[in-house]
């Protein structure tokens, strides 16, 4: 249906224009561009309404073509009027000062409630005026029996299992010396008088075979690291010992050379 409608628009446009041929795709692109322009101008006009005044109106003006397009896409530009807006006014007659309550109720969707009317009368006993409250007549309440009374506890609807568990838990917990040092991470009748609340149960991660293998590999790497560190320390000690021995040997050779020189000099003097 849409393609047929656009095809008829294409034929009619090309028949009236008498110029360059325009395809359906070109006309759609032009139409979408005009709609975007109308939306932008309508948004600028709405934003101009919230200004404080005192200056020149800078809102853009819509031409005839844009006015026609806005009439077709008014919902996407202006939107729907909210019945909950405090500034919106009901549809009333011209030059009508008093708004009919029934029309207001139909417009807002709220039924009109008859309120009590106060009345001022003269008091016979005192000099001051007395304000009487004239209430609307109402039917007396029917007497209720004990069978009609429903306990409030039965009217409580709890759809959550956790809330039901909370309602079942006791309001007082007694701590005794026998239960003071117990581990409360495991629920049992010996530890608790009632079932543990589901919110208190922590999600303990379960160890798998892969986790155990990873832990074993990590321990092995730690042992290898420790062994390498100890080996480096031992090699460092050996290197320091050998360095000290080389220094002592060099010093001994230097002293031996000096002794030989002195001995040779003494022989020459003789």
Mean pLDDT, each 10-residue run in order, the chain (270 residues) = 87 83 89 91 84 78 89 78 64 53 48 50 53 50 51 46 50 50 56 67 73 90 94 93 92 91 84
250 part of a folded domain: yes
Q: According to the model, what pLDDT value does residue 49 have?
A: 78
70 part of a folded domain: yes
Pair 52, 115 in one domain: no
Pair 195, 226 in one domain: no
53 part of a folded domain: yes
Q: According to the model, what pLDDT value does residue 177 have?
A: 52
Q: According to the model, what pLDDT value does residue 93 have?
A: 59
Distance of CA 226 to CAs 148, 156, 219, 235, 236, Å? 81, 64, 11, 14, 15
Token look-up 């409580």 returns 156
Pair 42, 70 in one domain: yes
83 part of a folded domain: no
Q: According to the model, what pLDDT value does residue 20 have?
A: 83
How many helices (H) and strands (E) the chain has is answered by 8, 2
Quote the pTM value.
Answer: 0.32
Strand partners, 129: 122
Pair 251, 196 in one domain: no
Domain range for 180: 158-200
How many domains, in total, are found in the chain?
Answer: 4
Q: According to the model, what pLDDT value does residue 158 have?
A: 45
Pair 127, 170 in one domain: no
Distance of CA 211 to CAs 208, 220, 221, Å? 5, 14, 15
86 part of a folded domain: no
Contact between 14 and 24 (Cβ < 8 Å): no
Q: According to the model, what pLDDT value does residue 244 have?
A: 92
Pair 233, 264 in one domain: yes
179 part of a folded domain: yes
Pair 11, 71 in one domain: yes
Pair 55, 107 in one domain: no
144 part of a folded domain: no
Q: According to the model, what pLDDT value does residue 237 have?
A: 92
Pair 35, 62 in one domain: yes
Pair 196, 223 in one domain: no
268 part of a folded domain: yes
Domain final residue, candidates 200, 233, 255: 200
In which element (H, E) is residue 130 found?
strand 129-134
Question: Chain-centre distance of CA 260, in angstroms?
Answer: 94
Pair 14, 72 in one domain: yes
Extract the tokens encoding 136: 């609307």
Distance between CA atoms of 154 and 167, rounded to whole angstroms?
13
Pair 8, 66 in one domain: yes
Q: According to the model, what pLDDT value does residue 251 have?
A: 92
Extract the tokens encoding 256: 């031996």
């Amino acid at each position: 249906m849409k393609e047929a409608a656009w095809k008829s628009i294409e034929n009619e446009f090309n028949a009236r224009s008498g110029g360059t041929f325009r395809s359906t795709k070109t006309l759609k692109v032009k139409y979408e561009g005009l709609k975007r322009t109308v939306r932008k101008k309508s948004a600028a006009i709405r934003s101009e309404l919230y200004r404080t005044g005192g200056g020149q109106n800078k809102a853009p003006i819509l031409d005839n073509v844009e006015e026609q397009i806005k009439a077709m896409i008014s919902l996407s530009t202006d939107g729907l009027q909210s019945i909950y807006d405090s500034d919106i006014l009901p549809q009333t007659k011209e030059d009508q000062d008093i708004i009919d309550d029934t029309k207001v109720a139909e417009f807002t969707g709220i039924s009109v409630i008859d309120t009590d009317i106060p009345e001022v009368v003269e008091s016979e006993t005192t000099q001051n005026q007395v304000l009487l409250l004239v209430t609307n007549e109402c039917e007396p309440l029917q007497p209720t029996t004990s069978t009609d009374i429903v306990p409030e506890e039965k009217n409580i609807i709890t759809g959550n299992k956790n809330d039901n568990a909370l309602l079942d838990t006791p309001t007082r917990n007694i701590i005794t010396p026998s239960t003071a040092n117990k581990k409360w991470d495991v629920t049992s009748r010996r530890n608790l008088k009632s079932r543990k609340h589901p919110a208190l149960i922590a999600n303990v991660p379960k160890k798998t075979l892969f986790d155990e293998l990873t832990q074993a590999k990590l321990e092995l790497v730690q042992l290898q690291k420790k062994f390498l560190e100890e080996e480096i320390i031992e090699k460092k000690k050996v290197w320091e010992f050998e360095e000290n021995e080389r220094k002592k040997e060099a010093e001994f050779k230097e002293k031996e050379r000096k002794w030989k020189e002195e001995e040779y000099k003494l022989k020459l003097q003789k």
